[in-house]
Amino acid sequence: MQANIRHQVSPYLVFFIIYNSQVGVGILSFQRTIAAKAGYDAWIGVLVAGCLVQAFIWVMYKLLGKTNGDIIDVHTTIFGNGLGKFLSFFIMIYYWLASISVLIGFIEIIQVWMFPTMPSWILSTIILLSVYYCVSGGFRVIVGMSFLSFIFPQILLIVLFIFPLKIAHFSNLLPIMSHSFMDLADSIKSSMYSIAGTEALLMYYPFIRDPKASKKFAHLGVLFTTILYTISAIVSFTFYSENQLKTTLWPELSLTKTVTLSFLERFEYLYISMYLIIISVLIALFLWCSSRGLKRIFNRKQKYTLLLLCLLSIILCQFNGSFKDMLNKYIIQMNLWIFYGYIPILLLVLTFLKRGKQNDE
């Protein structure tokens, strides 16, 4: 069930969508979580996680290529209408919760680094207003925004990688592979969530003009983000000593403290403000997925499902602190089980089902 050609995007744009869906608030803080157990060997874990995501992309393309639609079509062909929609509903909830976790993470950053007295609901309302505006323009607007959000912040990211290199201690990374396999597995697990986000492909697949041609761009996109994450981990590892990194909440943002320009003392203000583009497009993408899914499940207009999700998000953003930790914990579990456990099984089931049908004929 391909979407109307008017709403479709060119295959190469998948590169930017993949990049944008993977880079969120995670890149600002993942260095600390991955190094918790595996120490400074954790960058290997990022590379391994990148390979797993590549495999996941392959699985998704196989799965969606069989029905030529989105995940809801896959579910309905396998389980029928009722159960299929019920299972899809869980995935839509995941998309929505993931967007909230990004939103809450970013609001926390704004409050700690820029405006300590600003209440959460104002920030979430302002961000969600622009997100609503973006999503109501349709999928093509989101893709256009993710292209922009790829171009601009790259310049800042490069600045951020070059300044700390002047005082980098590359010997920090030595000795390589001094941790046990279990510790490395832990770092893979925690980097999996930071570079998660490609699962949005399950919803926007029908919107790609020539899905087969887009496959290589999706793989390239994942490769690019994996390299970006690995470099970012290595820059942080060479800049901080190991115990210092463990005390730093946002290692990547703290890197900006070393940048001083004669006309701009506090570089992080610029950086965080620029980051709003990345964050709002990411939230827009996930809310688009979620609201479109709910629209198809409940046969309502997308406008209303989107409004409902936005309002619920604003309410949930009011709960800070322990709610945020709990949310993140559940989302990490959900992400692992749904997309690295359930989806591959789905592919197997679908392959056997189709084969069986062919035999009947």
Partner 1 sequence: MMNRSAFCLILILLLLLSGCSFLPTNIVNEIDMAQGVGYDLAEKKNIKGTIVFPIFKKDKTSTTEVRTAIGKSSKEIRSILNNETRYTLVSGQVRVALYGKKMAKKGINDFVDTLHRDPAIGSLVQMAIVDGDSNELFKMKKYKNENVSIHIQELLEQNMKMGLLPQTNLQSFLFQFFQIGQDPYLPLIKKEKDNIRITGMAIFKDDQYVTSISMEDLFIFKALVDINRTGLRQFILEKHDNVVLDTLGSKVKYKVKIVQGRPEFTINLKMKTRLHEFAPSEKQRQSFDKKKYQKQVEQELEKSAINIINQFKKHQVDPLGLGAKYKEHYRGFNEKQWNMYYPNVKVVVNADIEILQTGTVD
Based on the shown chain and the rule CB under 8 A, indicate whether residue 113 belongs to the binding site for partner 1: yes
Based on the shown chain and the rule CB under 8 A, indicate whether residue 240 belongs to the binding site for partner 1: yes
Where does this chain touch partner 1 (CB under 8 A) — which range of 63-71, 123-131, 227-235, 277-285? 123-131
Closest residue by Cα to residue 282 from 156, 155, 196: 196
Q: How many residues interact with partner 1 (rule CB under 8 A)?
A: 31
Question: Site for partner 1 (CB under 8 A): which residue of 54, 125, 302, 328?
Answer: 125
Distance CA 216, CA 214 (A): 6
> Least distance to partner 1 from the beta carbon of 191, Å?
23
Distance CA 69, CA 86 (A): 17
> Least distance to partner 1 from the beta carbon of 256, Å?
9
What b-and-e string marks burial along 305-316, b requiring 16 or more CB atoms within 10 Å of the CB? bbeebbeebbeb
Instruction: Note whether 59 and 216 are within 8 A (CB).
Output: no
Query: Nearer Cβ to partner 1, position 55 or 261?
Result: 261
Based on the shown chain and the rule CB under 8 A, indicate whether residue 118 belongs to the binding site for partner 1: yes
Query: Nearer Cβ to partner 1, position 122 or 227?
Result: 122
Amino acid at 269: Y
Instruction: Note whether 269 and 114 are within 8 A (CB).
Output: yes
Where does this chain touch partner 1 (CB under 8 A) — which range of 3-11, 109-117, 202-210, 292-300? 109-117
Instruction: Note whether 177 and 242 are within 8 A (CB).
Output: no
> Least distance to partner 1 from the beta carbon of 257, Å?
4
Distances from the Cα of 177 to the Cαs of 35, 152, 174, 188, in angstroms? 13, 36, 8, 14
Based on the shown chain and the rule CB under 8 A, indicate whether residue 264 belongs to the binding site for partner 1: no
> Least distance to partner 1 from the beta carbon of 157, Å?
19
> Least distance to partner 1 from the beta carbon of 1, Å?
29
Where does this chain touch partner 1 (CB under 8 A) — which range of 21-29, 43-51, 122-130, 147-155? 122-130
Question: Site for partner 1 (CB under 8 A): which residue of 10, 68, 244, 351?
Answer: 244
Based on the shown chain and the rule CB under 8 A, indicate whether residue 209 belongs to the binding site for partner 1: no
Distance CA 287, CA 279 (A): 12
Based on the shown chain and the rule CB under 8 A, indicate whether residue 129 belongs to the binding site for partner 1: yes
- Count of alpha carbons within 13 angstroms of residue 106, beta-carbon side: 29
Where does this chain touch partner 1 (CB under 8 A) — which range of 44-52, 187-195, 255-263, 288-296? 255-263
Query: Sign (positive/negative) of CA torsion 126, 129, 135, 140?
Result: negative
Query: Nearer Cβ to partner 1, position 125 or 302?
Result: 125
Cα 45 versus chain centre, distance: 18
The angle subtended at Cα 236 by Cα 231 and Cα 240, nearest 5°, is 155
Give bridge partners of residue 208 from the DSSP assignment.
Answer: 9
Question: Site for partner 1 (CB under 8 A): which residue of 83, 126, 213, 261?
Answer: 126
Contact letters for partner 1, residues 145-184 (x by CB under 8 A) = ----------------------x-x-x--xx--x------
Distances from the Cα of 116 to the Cαs of 108, 120, 264, in angstroms? 9, 10, 21
Based on the shown chain and the rule CB under 8 A, indicate whether residue 112 belongs to the binding site for partner 1: yes
Query: Which residues in 284-303 contact partner 1 (CB under 8 A)?
Result: none
Query: Nearer Cβ to partner 1, position 118 or 213?
Result: 118
Based on the shown chain and the rule CB under 8 A, indicate whether residue 266 belongs to the binding site for partner 1: yes
Closest residue by Cα to residue 191 from 28, 54, 20, 47: 47
Q: What are phi and psi of 9, to 5 degrees?
A: -120, 160
Q: What are phi and psi of 30, to 5 degrees?
A: -70, -25
Using CB under 8 A, list all residues that contact partner 1.
112-113, 115, 117-119, 122, 125-126, 129, 133, 167, 169, 171, 174-175, 178, 239-244, 247, 254, 257-258, 260, 265-266, 268
